[in-house]
Amino acid sequence: MAKGFFFNNKDCYGCMTCSVACITDKLPGNSVTYLRNVTEILVDDPKTYSFMSMSCNHCDNPVCLAVCPVGAYEKLEDGIVRQRHDMCIGCQTCVRECPYGSPNYYDEEGKTHKCDMCVDRQLRGEKPACVEACPGANLEIGDMEELKAMDGADFVSDPDMDIAPNIVIKADPKIKGNPAKYGQVKTS
């Protein structure tokens, strides 16, 4: 069974606590590279805001794994896509090819980093840093079949993509279409 993220786009208020928690846990001292991006989604009403929190979607058919020339990516039994960082050569092929902009290049190190769903924290029985830190409880992780069955699960994946991202979104009704398509519009 694949693990995935559940994101409540309807109630997210764009505080970026998930991004800060992630960067603090994964890349301490790095204030530039975010592994979870919070994006403002522009809607028709200028007095209304909506936000999308996006990191790696741990796709069933991950592009990063397919294009990495040195095989630095692996897919674990639970569906988590993990980068073996010591193998990364910094070519940024994964950065260019990921439709969600998940891998991020870290200039100081000359390598890329990406979300691994805090697999180390999960092995200790903890939630990923982003999930644990969200003050609105708008992020969850779980088995994709269970997440799909959750109340308000509006979008399970982008139907235009054959990579099958493992994210379920409870969408804000002000958003037209699939909010996952807005994942890289305007990074806050």
- pLDDT for position 122: 96
Asked whether the CA dihedral 43, 178, 23, 94 is positive or negative, the reply is negative
Expressed as residue numbers, the domain containing 101 is: 3-182
Terminal CA-CA length for the chain = 33
Question: Which pTM does this prediction carry?
Answer: 0.88
- pLDDT tens digit string along 107-124? 888 999 999 999 999 999
Number of domains the chain is built from: 1
Instruction: Compute the distance between CA of residue 26 and CA of residue 16 in angstroms, rounded to an integer.
Output: 15
- pLDDT tens digit string along 45-85? 777 788 999 999 999 999 999 999 999 999 999 999 999 99
For the chain, where are the E strands, in sequence order? 3-8, 37-41, 50-54, 73-75, 81-83, 104-106, 111-113, 139-143, 167-170
Judged against a pLDDT cut of 60, whether residue 188 lies above it is answered with no
| Within-domain flag for 168 | yes
If one counts every other C-beta atom within 10 angstroms of the C-beta of residue 174, the result is: 14
Judged against a pLDDT cut of 80, whether residue 180 lies above it is answered with no
Instruction: Compute the distance between CA of residue 94 and CA of residue 105 in angstroms, rounded to an integer.
Output: 10
| Within-domain flag for 187 | no
| Within-domain flag for 188 | no
| Within-domain flag for 147 | yes
CATH code of the domain containing 109: 3.30.70.20
